Amino acid sequence: MSTLTPAQMEEALRAVGETRYHHLHPFHEMLHSGACTKDQVRAWALNRYCYQRIIPFKDAAILARMESTELRRIWRQRLIDHDGEIDDHPEGGLRRWLALTDGLGLDRAYVTSMEGALPAVRFACDAYVAFVRERSLLEAIASSLTEMFSPMIIKARVSGMLKHYPFVTPDILRYFQNRLSEAPRDADFALDYVKKHATTPETQSAALRALEFKCSMLWAQLDAIQHVYVNGAPAPGAWAPGVALRDAAA
């Protein structure tokens, strides 16, 4: 591979998203088109809590590796966005995710215990935290570039879920509303960083592989959810419909 220009590098990164981002995953097609049962939506929200949970871990791990005050000032906004403020005013992304699982009738302590989450989902999330700790800062930042692709999926998700599921309201989907403004800001910064610092065939290849890795960890989560909750594969110890619902939702 020869060295790409910054514009070619951006094109190559976008091509990874077009072929590997989880907007292509069949479970998302189901979720957005109204083909999921309420329990399948619950299984998705419950499991994806594992991913929401590790976002501040991975951002803190990236922050902890940044030598530059300027970079750290920018990256810390991600922690503020996800963790919010004391007393939850304003609340952070993690609390907004719990508004979704609350709205679906799932017991909050059960969700945050991750007791019923699928092991494969937890393994994928742990792999992401390990990746940003162990790889270069460039690769860690490049792996965040799935945020370039998230606005398109979020728009389809919010409109599709509001249209098709009577149990979904704009209020319980407020996590996504906030991400529509946060993600492009974060992605613009990370894309500039990667274009500026990936300037050799080796570093460009590493950045592209990092984005592929990130796509694969998102994909693996949906595979696990689909395998168990759509295809009906047995899942020893995992959440089952009827479990950990609040009284009103039972």
Q: Give the sign of the dihedral formed by CA 56, CA 122, CA 188, CA 172.
A: negative
Nearer to a second copy by Cβ, of 24 and 249: the residue is 24
Given candidates 39, 108, 123, 243, which one binds a second copy under the rule CB under 8 A? Answer: 123
Among 35, 130, 152, 162, binds a second copy (CB under 8 A): 130
User: Does 26 engage in binding with a second copy (CB under 8 A)?
Assistant: yes
Q: Using CB under 8 A as the criterion, what x/- string covers residues 194-213 for binding a second copy?
A: ------------------xx
Q: Interface with a second copy includes 217 (CB under 8 A)?
A: yes
Exposed e or buried b per residue across 85-102, where buried means at least 16 C-beta atoms within 10 angstroms of its C-beta? eeeeeebbbbbbbbbbbb
96 binds a second copy (CB under 8 A): no
Q: CA–CA separation, 237 vs 234, rounded Å?
A: 9
Q: Does 122 bind a second copy (CB under 8 A)?
A: yes
What is the size of the binding site for a second copy (CB under 8 A)?
31
CB of 199 to a second copy, least distance (A): 25
Q: Which of 83, 224, 229, 239 binds a second copy (CB under 8 A)?
A: 224
Asked whether position 190 contacts a second copy by CB under 8 A, the answer is no
Establish if 165 lies at the interface with a second copy (CB under 8 A): no
Per-residue interface string for the shown chain with a second copy, residues 62-81, x marking contact by CB under 8 A: --------------------
- Please say which residue, 92 or 116, places its beta carbon nearer to a second copy: 116
Q: Which is nearer to a second copy, 36 or 173 (CB)?
A: 36
Please, which residue, 224 or 244, has the CB nearer to a second copy? 224
Q: How far is the CB of 148 from a second copy (least distance, A)?
A: 17
Written as one string, the DSSP assignment of the chain is -PPPPHHHHHHHHHHHHHHHSGGG-HHHHHHHHT-S-HHHHHHHHHHHHHHHHHHHHHHHHHHTT---HHHHHHHHHHHHHHH--GGGTT--HHHHHHHHHHHTTB-HHHHHHTTTS-HHHHHHHHHHHHHHHHS-HHHHHHHGGGGGTHHHHHHHHHHHHHHH-TT--TGGGHHHHHHHHHHHHHHHHHHHHHHHH--SHHHHHHHHHHHHHHHHHHHHHHHHHIIIIIS----TT---TTTTB-GGG-
Tell me which residues touch a second copy (CB under 8 A): 19-20, 24-26, 118-120, 122-124, 126-127, 130, 212-213, 215-217, 219-220, 223-224, 226-228, 231, 233-234, 236-237
